[in-house]
Amino acid sequence: MTVDFGTLFLNETPDAVVLTTTDGEVVCWTRGAEAVFGYSSAEATGRRLDALIEAPTPFNDSVDILQQTLTLGLASYESMRQAKDGTLVYIDSSSKLVRDAEGRPAYILWSKKDVTALKVLRDAKLVEARYDGILDSMPDAIIMANAAGRIVLANRQAEQLFGYAHGALRGMLLEQLMPARLRHAHIAHRTGFMAQPLVRPMGSGRDLYGLRSDGAEFPVEISLSPIAADEGTLVMSAIRDISERKRFEQALQENNVELAKAVAAKDRFLTGMSHELRTPLNAIIGFTGTMLMKLPGPINDEQNKQLRMVQSSARHLLSLINDLLELTRIESGKVELDVQPLSCRAVIDEVLISFKPQARSKGLALEFESTQEPAVSSDRQAVQQILMSLVHNAIKFTNSGTVLVRLATALVGERACATISVSDTGIGIGAAQRDGLFQAFTQLDPSALRQFDGSGLGLHLSRKLAALLQGEIYFDSEYGVGSVFTLALPLEFCEREG
C-alpha cells in the first residue's frame, strides 16, 4: 500500500494549515483548520482568509501580516482570531510565501496553532503573582478575563456564586456563565468594551443574569475595570447577586399595582358618593331656605334658629364634599384646564363682590389695590377658586381690621409673574404651625382656633391648583399681626407635555 505522507500530514496535524493565493483567497483548508476555526473545507475554499477568521477591532491585523509575508517572504506572530461561532482564539501563526517554478509569488502557506489554553495559563500566572490572596478577601465575586473572554482568575466567592469547584472556572468563556439567550449580545458588548476599556460602575448598563453550574439563572449586577498587564489588557468583573433586591422590587411593584387599584377604587367611591351626597344636601339647603323665607308659613324664633343651624351645617358639609371631589379630580389627573387670556382684575372684582356681605357682617373692610393690569393666560375657574379660598380664609381668621387684595407683577425665582396677594390683620400663623399649613386636612392649632370651622382642604387644594397653572402660592405671616398669601401666575403659560 502506497502512503501519501504529505496528505496524511496535512489531514492529521491538529494545527490549522491553510493555503491561499497571494490575495488571501483560500485554496486548501485542512481538517486541523476546520477543528480550530469551525469552517468546513467547502465553506472556506474560495473565500478570503481574513474575512473568515479576522477578529473584530482592535485585533484586526490581517492586512499587515499579509503585506509582511509578501514583502519578506515569511512572518511569525501571535494574534487573536475569531472562529465561526464567534469565539475568539489566540493563534501562534507563521506564514511563508510559496513561489512557482519561475520564482514568481504563487501561494502563501499558513500554519496556525491554537494557543488559547497556553495564553490563559500565562495570564493566570501573571495575575496570581500580582493579586494572589487579595481577591479572596473581597466581598463580591471577582472574575478576571483576557481579551478573548477567557477566565484567567476567579476568587472563591465567584466559584461559590456560580457553583463550580476550586479552579474549574479557569479557561472557561465568560459567556458560559450567562444564559444562552444573552451570549451573542455579550460577545458584541465585550468587543466594544475592549475597543474602549473604561471603568463601568456597579449597576450601570443592561439587566444581566448569571447561570449557575446546575442551570439555575439569577440576576446580577456587574462592574467592569480594565487591568493593564504585560501581555495585554485584562478585564476585572465584580459580580453581585441581586436576587434578594429583585424580589423586593417585584414585591414593591406588585404592592404599587395593588395600591394604584385601591387609589382608583377610592377615587371612584369618592366621586360616586360625592355626587350621591350632594343631591340630598342641595335639597336640604333648598327646603330650609324656603322655610326660612316663611313661604310655607310662619315660624317662631326657635324654629328659625334651628333651621339656620341645619342650613349652615348642610352648607359646610356640601363645601367639604365639593373639596373632596375637587381633590379627587386633581389627584387622578382628571382636571382639564381651559387656558385663555385672563383679566386678573375682572376675576378679583367678582370674588370681592361675592365676599362683601360676609366681610360687612364681621365689620371688616374688604379693599383692592393695584398699580397695573398684567396680562396673563390661565384657567379662569381655577384662578377664581384659589382666590375665593384665600379671601375666605382671610375673612374667617380676621375679627377686626382690613382684608386687602393687591394685584402687581414681580420676579418670582427667575420667572416674571402676575401676583395677587391677599393680606389680613387677623390672628397670624405661628412658626410651629407653618410646616403643615398646606397639607390636606390640616388646620391651625384647634385648641386656639376651635371657633373656626373648616375642612383643612382649602390651602391644600389651592396649592395643587396653582401647580397645575404652573404657578405657586407663598405666604408671610406674623402671629398676632396678620398674614399675606400670594398667588404667583407666570406671565407666559407654556403647555406641559404628558
Task: Give the chain's domains with CATH numbers.
Answer: 5-114 (3.30.450.20), 119-241 (3.30.450.20), 247-331 (1.10.287), 339-490 (3.30.565.10)
Nearest C-alpha neighbor of 440 from the set 424, 462, 467, 421: 462
pLDDT of 289 over the 50 cut: yes
Cα separation, 346 vs 73, in Å, equals 96
pLDDT tens figures, 224-265: 888 877 667 888 889 999 989 888 888 888 888 888 887 777
Regarding pTM above 0.85, the answer is no
Other Cβ atoms closer than 10 A to 229:
16
Whether 342 contacts 383, CB under 8 Å: yes
Sequence-distant (6+) residues with CB within 8 A of 333 are none
pLDDT of residue 201: 64
Burial class (CB in 10 A: 0-12, 13-18, 19+), 386: buried
Residue with cell 460602575: 201
Cα separation, 444 vs 396, in Å, equals 13
pLDDT of residue 450: 41
Nearest C-alpha neighbor of 234 from the set 292, 322, 357, 150: 150
pLDDT tens figures, 382-421: 899 899 889 988 998 898 999 999 999 988 888 889 999 9
pLDDT tens figures, 82-93: 899 888 889 999
Sequence-distant (6+) residues with CB within 8 A of 104 are none
Strands 365-370 and 402-412: parallel
